[in-house]
Amino acid sequence: MRWALIGASDIAATRVIPAIQEAGDEVYGVMSSSADRAASYASANGIDHSTTSLDELLAWPVDAVYISTTNELHAQQAIAAAKAGKHILCEKPIAINVSDGKAMLQAARENGVVFATNHHIRTSGVHQKIREIVQSGQLGDLYLVRINHAVALPERLQGWRLTGGNKGAGVILDITVHNIDTLRAALGSDIVEVTALAATNGLAKDGIEDTSNCTFRFANGVIANTSECFLVPFNTTTFEIHGSKGSLVATGVMTQDPTGEIVLTNAAGSKTIEVSDRENLYVKTIKQFQNAIAGKGEPLATGEDGFASMQGAIAALKSAKEKRTVQISEVS
């Protein structure tokens, strides 16, 4: 299968291009708004074609596109790709407003293309094991869930994420959106309301949040809390699920790599859960995307999953701004 990259991004160079190649596919070309950037990026990554034109890219003999431009561009690029019959793997958030997200899903349905979201965390073997434990009932009735996802935003990734208010900047659309997807996958339920606090602690500018704390109520009654930050260099991320029969604490699992450990505690004591699947998260994403195109199941994170995580993040932003609890129906 041939791919075109819409966006000459860091994530494409460091994660997605190697994954596409490992999965046996070819990266045919790349698009950037800068001709010089497109050409130099293509040369650095062994790509034969580059362009600044979306129309030109969509006329290339490619089967799929990977979209990793700034967030406000995703919708119009994905819709154009769908109309051109290209399958789509889109970075999160898939859009920065609900109407654009709905239009993207509709375009994919109407044109019969696979639309996937690059929510890499849920693809981890550790997270798969967490879901198996939850679904098996070992934790009993679930009550409280916590995600601690405070990290240091690398300097090379700062830029628009800290200043681009019109591009969907800030920690909520960058990290909380991943946490929401992780929660939905683990709990098998959707958000019904959210209460959020956000702060600008000096890294971001112009009131864009670099720190947030969000509380979500899910349709199944579980209450989940997430903490996100761009300014914490020495933290170990954690994911906790607490129920009537047991508690699960996973450490080092909110990452781009297949790392981390799960400890399960119940009446019998505490034990570390073995995880055998340590496959590269992005390779798994590409392989299942290939399968979905071949009619074998769905992507690991569908476009609908991307819409739900985006919707939850938008509700969190609204809650933080208006200083109140927001029903998910208010951003539908």
pLDDT in tens, 91-148: 999 999 999 999 999 999 999 999 999 999 999 999 999 999 999 999 999 999 999 9
Question: To the nearest whole percent, how much of the chain has pLDDT over 90?
Answer: 95
304 falls within a domain: no
Q: How far apart are CA 46 and CA 156, in angstroms?
A: 21
Q: Are residues 217 and 242 in the same domain?
A: yes
Task: Tell me: do 174 and 319 sit in the same domain.
Answer: yes
Does residue 181 lie within any of the structural domains?
Answer: yes
The angle that helices 125-136 and 177-187 make with each other, rounded to 10 degrees, is 40
172-230: per-residue pLDDT in tens? 999 999 999 999 999 999 999 999 999 999 899 888 999 999 999 999 999 999 999 99
Q: Are residues 253 and 106 part of one domain?
A: no
Pairwise CA distance, residues 329 & 332, whole Å: 5
Q: Looking at residue 254, what is its pLDDT?
A: 98
Task: Please report whether residue 70 resides in a domain.
Answer: yes
Domain tally for the chain? Answer: 2
- Pair (62, 125) in one structural domain: no
pLDDT attached to residue 205: 84
In tens, the pLDDT along 309-325 reads: 999 999 999 999 999 99
Question: Which CATH number covers residue 94?
Answer: 3.40.50.720
Q: Is 22 left (phi over 0), alpha (psi -120 to 50) or beta?
A: alpha
Residues spanned by the domain of 72: 2-120+285-299
Domain for residue 179, yes or no? yes
Residue 101 in any domain: the answer is yes
Task: Specify the pLDDT at position 174.
Answer: 96
So what's the pLDDT on residue 330? 98
Together in a domain, 61 and 141: no
| CATH code of the domain covering residue 148 | 3.30.360.10
Look at 300 and 157; give whichever has higher pLDDT: 300
Whether residue 225 is contained in a domain is answered as yes
Q: How confident is the model at residue 165 (pLDDT cuts 50, 70, 90)?
A: confident
Residue 60 lies in a domain: yes
| 208 shares a domain with 161 | yes
Q: Same structural domain for residues 52 and 110?
A: yes
Q: Which helix (H) or strand (E) holds 22?
A: helix 17-22
- pLDDT digit string, tens, across residues 20-77: 999 999 999 999 999 999 999 999 999 999 999 999 999 999 999 999 999 999 999 9
* Model pTM above 0.95: yes
174/293 Cα distance (integer angstroms): 27
Regarding whether 174 and 29 lie in a shared domain, the answer is no
Domain assignment present for residue 137? The answer is yes
Residues 112 and 157 in one domain: no
Sign of CA dihedral 2, 31, 88, 188: positive
Q: Are 90 and 239 members of one domain? A: no
184 shares a domain with 264? yes
Token pair, residue 235, equals 């933290």
- Do 63 and 173 lie in a common domain? no
